[in-house]
Amino acid sequence: MKFCVYCGNKIPESSSFCPHCGQQQPKVQRTYQHVDNNQPMYNQSIYPVHRDDLFDKITSKLNSYTGGSGSVRINLKVLFSEVFKKHSNEDAEKIFIAGTHFTTPNMKDVSEEWAKPWLFSRILAYFMVVFGVLIVADFLFGGQLALPGLILVAATAVPFSAVIFYFEFNAFRNISIFTVTKIFFVGGAFSLLVTMFIYQFAIFDEKTSIGIGSALLIGIIEELGKMIIIFYFINRVSNNFILNGILIGGAVGAGFATLETAGYILYSGKYFLITAIVRALTAIGGHLVWAAITGGALMLVKKYGEKLQVSDLFEARFVIFFGLSIILHALWDVTVPFGWLKYIPLIIIAWIILFVLMNAGINQIRDIKHQYNQ
């Protein structure tokens, strides 16, 4: 047996999370020491960490901040394997009824395997169909009344589809689609309001291009605005489940992205369609991912059964992931030659960070179920 470094209670030797206070336990990585007979021996630790390349080194380092060890590799082919399979309406309804008092599973029934989301792709496809219909109505038949709907659909399609992806990935099935939709709209609106309020105290250089200083300030303000609202919604749940934090944060970020994009489209004049398409394509790596990272990071420092405190925001684990969100946001906004090329690596990096947190969420489930079994 070992003891929790936070509350001092006994916990199972293999546990990464304390069943009493919910805090993650620091882990010591196993290292190799060679003796005279060339046979490797281990020091006190858990599992060997094998690092082959830069990806392994990066994910291993990020994973260490979640309390895990080793690199994180995601098989996207397996993750999205259900997308191209046929599913019935009943299959979709089973997903949408999750999270109610009657449908939330017991902990022993919570899956500890990586989810294989698919419903989000159908939602996105429906949005694309509606978007196409509204384009036909507006451009071919002069239906000006279709323009507001076109803006709304273009701004909502990718962010809301991403929220459904997070909803499907939440293995705990303890947050309903009604609650998620409420967080999406209400959280998105209030995070935009808080951000606009903070902007009143910011001073920017009057330039047509955005320098690194201004971009960093933008990143701090907007990520802080979203974080405050995510902080509030996370404190409305009593658990510290990382996957719940990702869902809540992703919903707030997606709502923010929807409202912001609608504004950009509205004020882009005759180029509104190009703006709508570009914003939709790049939304996949913007606010909805940065805020999901923040939500997951907040759950890393939240104690089970307790509310988040302002002091928790200064814990290294949160500071690191929240700081990464700010940096990604700043690099997204800074003006550079051929700036559109930067979006691809920034999107990939953002999702790598988020996948590490998702992996920590899955490991958390395994630890909790192991403790229940003990």
pLDDT of 11:
72
pLDDT higher at 361 or 32:
361
Residues 6 or more apart whose CB falls under 8 angstroms from that of 302 comprise 22, 234, 240, 245, 308, 312
Work out the angle at residue 199's Cα, subtended by the Cα atoms of residues 195 and 202, and round it to the nearest 5 degrees: 145
Of 33, 48, 63, the last residue of a domain is 48
| Pair of tokens at residue 146 | 């279709």
Asked if residue 136 and residue 30 are part of one domain, the reply reads no
Average pLDDT value for residue range 239-244:
96
Asked if residue 26 and residue 154 are part of one domain, the reply reads no
Asked if residue 144 and residue 24 are part of one domain, the reply reads no
Asked if residue 338 and residue 277 are part of one domain, the reply reads yes
Of 48, 66, 86, the last residue of a domain is 48
pLDDT higher at 242 or 33:
242
- pLDDT tens column, 257-315: 999 999 999 998 888 889 999 999 999 999 999 999 999 999 999 998 899 999 999 99
Asked if residue 173 and residue 43 are part of one domain, the reply reads no
Asked if residue 35 and residue 113 are part of one domain, the reply reads no
pLDDT of 2:
65
What residues make up the domain containing 34?
1-48
Asked if residue 30 and residue 42 are part of one domain, the reply reads yes
Whole-angstrom CA distances from 81 to 62, 101, 163, 198, 277 are 26, 30, 19, 43, 26
Mean pLDDT lowest for which of 31-45, 102-116, 281-295?
31-45
Asked if residue 86 and residue 152 are part of one domain, the reply reads yes
Residues 6 or more apart whose CB falls under 8 angstroms from that of 110 comprise 171, 172, 173, 365, 369
Average pLDDT, the chain: 87
Residue position matching structure tokens 């089973």: 94
User: How many domains does the chain fold into?
Assistant: 2
Of 9, 32, 48, the last residue of a domain is 48
Asked if residue 342 and residue 220 are part of one domain, the reply reads yes
Asked if residue 319 and residue 297 are part of one domain, the reply reads yes
Asked if residue 333 and residue 281 are part of one domain, the reply reads yes
Asked if residue 112 and residue 11 are part of one domain, the reply reads no
Q: At what angle do helices 316-333 and 287-301 cross, to 10 degrees?
A: 170
